[in-house]
């Protein structure tokens, strides 16, 4: 197996991870040692920045994509930020917030399970190509093994559920057509196996019937 395709694959994965985890403009606007809780309201994206001050009080700012910061000068107190965004909304956005939740863009441990499902589905979805590649390299002929279609179907269902939970219309549309294609190929494989089994049984029965010693 040649090393160049594998090296290119690793390079692309590294590039994708770097693009995802690269600090955003909101991270650059934040004060040192502060925490960001991101929000999306319609077309508006931003974050509520909170920082524990030396006097034990937490101060807040609202950061928007594009560089706008509220208040224009200084910071909000807890009461002031609650009056701006609503106390219940602020509590919902910041309660239990931690670094893991912020990085994964979730708000609860249930979200961790959903993200885990997404990672598992994506891992399986990518691994099917590794298996196809390995089988083709071993046989020196481009081949799609049956396991490719089974893994495709299972992983696409997992990703479909994950994207529905994320309410990601692009991801949902990307998986729906594939599910039908994968299911159809699995159906065709099953029918082909039955035909081969029936043919083998017919040959066996014919041979047995023509054997005078049988």
Task: For residue range 78-106, list pLDDT tens digits in order.
Answer: 899 988 888 777 776 665 556 677 677 77
Q: Are residues 124 and 182 in the same domain?
A: yes
Of residues 171, 165, 40, the one with CA closest to residue 113: 165
Q: Does 16 fall in a domain?
A: no
Q: Do 34 and 53 contact (CB within 8 A), yes or no?
A: no
Q: Quick check: pTM over 0.85?
A: no
DSSP classification of residue 107: S
Last residue of a domain, one of 45, 75, 96: 96
Boundaries of domain holding 166: 109-203
Q: Are residues 135 and 184 in the same domain?
A: yes
DSSP classification of residue 24: -
Q: Are residues 148 and 179 in the same domain?
A: yes
Which has more confidence, 4 or 186? Answer: 186
Max distance between CA atoms of the chain, in angstroms, equals 103
Q: Are residues 48 and 90 in the same domain?
A: yes
Report the C-alpha gap between 214 and 205 in whole angstroms.
Answer: 11
Q: Is 5 left (phi over 0), alpha (psi -120 to 50) or beta?
A: alpha
pLDDT at 38 over 70: yes
Last residue of a domain, one of 47, 69, 96: 96
Mean pLDDT of the chain: 83
User: What is the DSSP code string of 39-60?
Assistant: EEETTEEEEEEEEE-TTS-EEE
Instruction: Please compute, for residue 119, the number of CA atoms within 13 A of its CA located in the half-sphere on the CB side.
Output: 7
Report the C-alpha gap between 185 and 35 in whole angstroms.
Answer: 49
Q: Does 150 fall in a domain?
A: yes
Q: Are residues 196 and 136 in the same domain?
A: yes
Residue 85 corresponds to which tokens in the numbers above? 């965004």
Q: What is the pLDDT of residue 214?
A: 46
Instruction: Please compute, for residue 78, the number of CA atoms within 13 A of its CA located in the half-sphere on the CB side.
Output: 8
Q: Are residues 125 and 163 in the same domain?
A: yes
Q: Are residues 116 and 146 in the same domain?
A: yes
Q: Does 67 fall in a domain?
A: yes
Total domains present in the chain: 2
Last residue of a domain, one of 46, 65, 96: 96
Q: What is the pLDDT of residue 191?
A: 92
**Confidence bin at 145 (pLDDT 50/70/90):** very high
Q: Does 136 fall in a domain?
A: yes
Q: Does 22 fall in a domain?
A: no
Report the C-alpha gap between 8 and 181 in whole angstroms.
Answer: 28
- For the chain, helix (H) and strand (E) counts, in that order, are 8, 4
């Amino acid at each position: 197996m040649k090393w160049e395709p594998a090296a290119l694959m690793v390079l692309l994965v590294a590039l994708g991870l770097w693009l995802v985890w690269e600090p955003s403009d909101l991270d650059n606007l934040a004060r040192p040692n502060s925490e960001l809780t991101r929000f999306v309201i319609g077309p508006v994206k931003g974050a509520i920045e909170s920082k524990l001050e030396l006097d034990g009080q937490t101060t807040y700012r609202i950061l928007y994509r594009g560089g706008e910061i509220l208040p224009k000068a200084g910071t909000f107190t807890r009461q002031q930020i609650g009056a701006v965004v609503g106390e219940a909304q602020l509590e919902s956005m910041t309660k239990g917030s931690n670094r893991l939740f912020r990085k994964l863009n979730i708000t609860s441990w249930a979200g961790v399970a959903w993200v885990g499902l997404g990672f598992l589905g994506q891992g399986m979805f990518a691994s099917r190509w590794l298996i196809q590649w390995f089988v083709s390299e071993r046989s020196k002929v481009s081949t799609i093994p049956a396991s490719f279609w089974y893994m495709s179907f299972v992983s696409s269902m997992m990703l479909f559920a994950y994207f529905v939970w994320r309410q990601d219309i692009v991801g949902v549309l990307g998986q729906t057509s594939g599910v039908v294609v994968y299911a159809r190929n699995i159906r065709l494989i099953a029918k082909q196996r039955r035909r081969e089994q029936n043919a083998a049984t017919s040959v066996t029965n014919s041979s047995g019937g023509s054997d005078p010693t049988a």
